[in-house]
Structure 1
């Protein structure tokens, strides 16, 4: 049975019933065991240690259950899987948790519904476990795993561990994954038990992401971007520490000859006392030019910064080793310029005195819409709209000389919308309400999430701030001189923009709330609607009414103008008829005059007394050819007579031979044969010359 939070009816499907029964209640933190690619949903089943897959588009419009497929790894992971990650070409899938990583090769898909191996219920998939942690007794844990976007075969996996070490694995299909490179980005975590370690001080890396690719300049020479080879393109890696510091790793790590170089810490402007927080948990880089970096804190604050070059003097370019540090880092040329901070509401709270909740926030990009991204955490799901992405794209693509007119501005600030809430002020502090799975189904965009209770939520995500681009029917000569006007729909959307949203509330059923608590929850929702929705809707209604009255008056005026234009059109039709008749007469007269002028020019040309030099030269050449032709005709007639006489002689000779057999000597036969051969060749040459001269004469 469908509901407002489950219009697709996923909770009634056999796959999600099995998933719900397999989920354990020991999960305390948000994770992501769900992924959607090409309308295929992948989810990890902990109980059976397999991957369940389902074509979500087949579910739409069907009430009956749809069979799903189980992808069974040949070497199931023995560690707890907390994340599921698929590469761009959808050929491999990475299962990873804090204690290990497993790479699964996805089989081929074919058939009506594009199922794996034509539709088998259980499909065996080749899998390999990566030896990230040397042993089960090792304290090293996996912090983050990402597929390298610059891999030509889409088979390189980058792993960040808790001991500030990057590991690069090459996972080619049908081959055993191998560790190709490791490099450090920080000090080794070794300290006495009484001294605080680097983890408590926030010096360990907690997350990383790939920045916009750049072209490596060789030997201080500028390289043409259009002619750059794949080996010259490098993907910088932004590394986030728990203290909020951001490092950057440069160098093409896919090439063995190149050594990765770690730069840090990036300066952040404008500077603050706490350096923009001390409890950072996640970083994401939107692929724009210049890159837009997003840093999330456990308190719910998200900072948006632009990665740009920093102008420093030579005496300021120092390494950390010169300041007494035991680990040397190069001074970066880039810096982060923070232009805004978005503060999200983690859980539903009713007044300012309520104790705020904090938890790690995980960032998810939208593949189809780069103007927004999603945040999943223990208190629900948020969507954040970033207008700066569109402004940066417009600034790069502008071809006008006055590019300063298109500089990004901060008039349109980013906004966070609370889509789903799993916590309230009455939720126990120790009660875990994490999001276990997050995925996006495109066209239209539908968010599918697995809650801590095993319930599946699928809701449509409406972009309230999307403004379609209007294509101009006529080119504009100079966009710098054009006076722009804000569209009415844009104005209405700005009026509807609100600071607080009322999310869908899904709380656990393990604790029964009192009537007073339910009433407070209802009162909060009513207050939000009154202050943030109804007031704005009333204002929008008044603006729309004013616009309607204006359009009605304009319509009346335009109807009168149409009447005047109809009369003018009738008059112009009559005038067009008379002008058309005159045009036809003038056209006939012009054609007659043109014909007469052509005849006169022809007669003048024919009666011209003297020929030009070219014509005289051609005339002489024709006369020479005519003389040669006459001479060849005479010779040809002679040859014909000679041939006739020879034929007579030959016939007489044959008759004489018939009457009397003559025996020739060998020397006589040879002489006669030679003479006849020469005469035949001469005759053939004369015939060919005669044909050639005839062809020239004909030309």
Structure 2
């Protein structure tokens, strides 16, 4: 398995067909996109969309992986001459095919079948397509499409926002034009041959920030309901801030809901802190990470990336741009606080390291990582960078902390890793990235280069998230002691020592230099990077490990001695505890004997007291008499019960005999017996009552 193609996509039939239909102009674009387990790729020659289930292909054995099937989605209407952007909707039901002067929406068929393919795996499917504003682009050949994004608030997953070069955002829903939002001036500046592009007033990119709630006063309602709303308070309205970037670096904010006909444009937003060189003079891309507060990334063609926080301004600021005189712009309620600027290395130059006269520049495109919000990707003509914004985690910890004296200090700088390099000579030849797709579960990255090579890599979601609770429990005692002390832990110290400012990227093997001298210079440069950024740091880490091992050995010897002394003390304490336990048992037995003797002495003392009262003696005699009478009554009661039981026995026998012989006593005898039994029963009840009364008197 090659290291640069872990999914072995170069051997698949899909990319073989894509490789034969690469665009003629090798410029950075995105002809790939991935949603769930479906990978989409645009075929420029046949003007069709190819799709494959990459997860099913990954589960197959390696010999069958190259023959993984794919499906061809044929548009029902003709698509524009050139497609440079493939964007799948949030739910995967639609695909936007965007070109310099065309936007087409393609409906994705339903998925069915065991492998989850489209329409049960049919090889070719004709899909319904809609060409958006074809006449507009036909009548305005100078009009260009700058950016295409799906709105996240669309319930039907069908709202598309298209940014045009005339500073308008056109909103489409179900392939129909709903709104046209102005985000800048439409007319040229004063002068016959002067256009807005000469002053950098053209919008180049936009992104949608998290939704906010704004108050709408009753005066903003319609006149029909003005009387009813006059007595009501301000209402809350949900708006989606759309951050717009112009070529000169100015940033504007458009506040609009998904169905808003009237929008509010604010700007330009103040960018702080102020510097001698303006931010974003050659701005080309903008990206928003939905942190709290939102993080705005502004990219320049020179390789600079500005990381800023979008904050609410203390006071509103009016616009100062003369180009917007014919456009209603509200005072800005937002500010951008730039926390850091990251400079990317655009290619590996074979010249001397100190020679910075001929700096290479190219448009940079940004793409969010949906799995890890702290990370995003920057791809361009010279390869791919992965940038990790570390201060987002510090913001999250600050918001989660409940301490009152907690202070926010953004001290951790961002990390930019050069993953793939496609330009490592001084010539004008480029091997641009023409397709990038992010995969999930497992996390991966697929790149399509202008040379036709496919790069597929596996990505780590987040190194901090991979640490489980068991690994936390396995933390050594020395690290715990270091963390409790004033200094950082040993692990953090090693990580700091291994941090490097320059990384050695993967070199695209399909684009090589023809000069042997240039190859030799490139090899020397790579060896220098490995020597200074890798081997030297590893030597320092090895020395640090040696110091740490010696320190731990000394601590171990000291701890062994302390363990021996503690074991001796434990034996002494155990013997003392055993003696104390025996002594305690002996004292407890003696205490019980003394308690019994004290009780007997108290009883004898109370019995022979000479000062007994007359009432007490009379009460004792009365209790004795009642007790004697009670015993007599109990004996009589027992005799009566025995007599009663004997009579019942005889009566039962006589009744059985009478029943068997059908003999009846005379009426006189029966009456006599009944009277006797009644008297006995009355006598028994009286005696029982007397016994209860006596028991109540004596307190039994």
TM band (smaller chain): 0.7 to 0.9
C-alpha distance after superposition, 1:509-547 (max 9, x if no partner): 5x7512211111100100111111111111112222322
C-alpha distance after superposition, 1:540-579 (max 9, x if no partner): 1222232233334444444555566667778889969997
C-alpha distance after superposition, 1:463-500 (max 9, x if no partner): 89757678688xxxxxxx98776333322222111111
Q: Answer with 1 or 2: which has the greater Rg.
A: 2
Compute the displacement of 1:16 (Å). 0.9
Aligned length: 554
Compute the displacement of 1:91 (Å). 1.7
After TM superposition, the structure 1 = structure 2 runs for residues 277-292 of structure 1, keeping only pairs within 5 Å, are 277-292=280-295
After TM superposition, the structure 1 = structure 2 runs for residues 73-472 of structure 1, keeping only pairs within 5 Å, are 73-131=75-133, 134-138=136-140, 139-171=142-174, 177-190=175-188, 194-219=192-217, 232-252=237-257, 254-256=258-260, 259-312=262-315, 317-319=317-319, 325-349=325-349, 350-351=351-352, 352-353=354-355, 355-404=358-407, 407-410=408-411, 412-428=412-428, 431-461=429-459, 466=464
C-alpha distance after superposition, 1:76-135 (max 9, x if no partner): 413311111112222221111111111122222244432222222223332212116614
Compute the displacement of 1:458 (Å). 1.2
- Answer whether contact 2:80 2:101 (CA < 8 A) is retained: no
The verdict on how the C-alpha distance between 1:143 and 1:189 changes in structure 2, with shifts beyond 3 A counting, is farther
- Answer whether contact 2:189 2:323 (CA < 8 A) is retained: no
- Answer whether contact 1:320 1:330 (CA < 8 A) is retained: no
Write the distance in 2 (CA, Å) between the matches of 1:322 and 1:207: 21
The verdict on how the C-alpha distance between 1:10 and 1:383 changes in structure 2, with shifts beyond 3 A counting, is same
Write the distance in 2 (CA, Å) between the matches of 1:212 and 1:117: 36
Write the distance in 2 (CA, Å) between the matches of 1:94 and 1:15: 20
- Answer whether contact 1:133 1:140 (CA < 8 A) is retained: no
- Answer whether contact 2:209 2:290 (CA < 8 A) is retained: yes
Write the distance in 1 (CA, Å) between the matches of 2:27 and 2:582: 83
C-alpha distance after superposition, 1:639-676 (max 9, x if no partner): xxxxxxxxxxxxxxxxxxxxxxxxxxxxxxxxxxxxxx
Write the distance in 1 (CA, Å) between the matches of 2:563 and 2:410: 42
- Residue 697 of structure 2 corresponds to none
Compute the displacement of 1:185 (Å). 1.1
The verdict on how the C-alpha distance between 1:535 and 1:133 changes in structure 2, with shifts beyond 3 A counting, is farther
The verdict on how the C-alpha distance between 1:550 and 1:441 changes in structure 2, with shifts beyond 3 A counting, is farther
TM-score by length of 2: 0.73
- Residue 3 of structure 1 corresponds to 2
Aligned to 1:276, what secondary structure does the other structure show? coil
Aligned to 1:6, what secondary structure does the other structure show? coil
Compute the displacement of 1:396 (Å). 1.4
- Residue 41 of structure 1 corresponds to 39
Write the distance in 1 (CA, Å) between the matches of 2:438 and 2:578: 61
Aligned to 1:311, what secondary structure does the other structure show? strand
- Answer whether contact 1:307 1:334 (CA < 8 A) is retained: yes
C-alpha distance after superposition, 1:447-476 (max 9, x if no partner): 210000111011234589757678688xxx
- Answer whether contact 1:205 1:239 (CA < 8 A) is retained: yes
C-alpha distance after superposition, 1:23-64 (max 9, x if no partner): 13x223200011122232111111222221222233335222
The verdict on how the C-alpha distance between 1:433 and 1:556 changes in structure 2, with shifts beyond 3 A counting, is same
The verdict on how the C-alpha distance between 1:121 and 1:319 changes in structure 2, with shifts beyond 3 A counting, is same
- Answer whether contact 1:495 1:540 (CA < 8 A) is retained: yes
Aligned to 1:10, what secondary structure does the other structure show? coil
Unmatched segments (≥5 aa) in structure 1: 172-176, 221-229, 474-480, 591-699
The verdict on how the C-alpha distance between 1:570 and 1:71 changes in structure 2, with shifts beyond 3 A counting, is farther
Compute the displacement of 1:356 (Å). 1.2
Write the distance in 2 (CA, Å) between the matches of 1:149 and 1:484: 46
Aligned to 1:271, what secondary structure does the other structure show? coil
The verdict on how the C-alpha distance between 1:557 and 1:290 changes in structure 2, with shifts beyond 3 A counting, is same
394-403 vs 198-207, greater mean Cα deviation = 394-403
- Answer whether contact 2:75 2:126 (CA < 8 A) is retained: yes
Write the distance in 2 (CA, Å) between the matches of 1:132 and 1:558: 81
- Residue 633 of structure 1 corresponds to none
The verdict on how the C-alpha distance between 1:147 and 1:36 changes in structure 2, with shifts beyond 3 A counting, is same
- Residue 606 of structure 2 corresponds to none
The verdict on how the C-alpha distance between 1:499 and 1:515 changes in structure 2, with shifts beyond 3 A counting, is same
Compute the displacement of 1:74 (Å). 2.3
Write the distance in 2 (CA, Å) between the matches of 1:500 and 1:59: 36
- Answer whether contact 1:111 1:118 (CA < 8 A) is retained: yes
- Answer whether contact 1:212 1:289 (CA < 8 A) is retained: no
Write the distance in 2 (CA, Å) between the matches of 1:569 and 1:116: 74
- Answer whether contact 1:423 1:507 (CA < 8 A) is retained: no
- Answer whether contact 1:395 1:408 (CA < 8 A) is retained: no
Write the distance in 1 (CA, Å) between the matches of 2:68 and 2:583: 74
C-alpha distance after superposition, 1:333-355 (max 9, x if no partner): 11111121111111111323251
Aligned to 2:500, what secondary structure does the other structure show? coil
RMSD over aligned CA atoms reads 3.3
After TM superposition, the structure 1 = structure 2 runs for residues 609-648 of structure 1, keeping only pairs within 5 Å, are none
- Answer whether contact 1:99 1:133 (CA < 8 A) is retained: no
- Residue 503 of structure 1 corresponds to 505
Unmatched segments (≥5 aa) in structure 2: 219-234, 474-482, 593-700
The verdict on how the C-alpha distance between 1:112 and 1:513 changes in structure 2, with shifts beyond 3 A counting, is same
496-505 vs 554-563, greater mean Cα deviation = 554-563
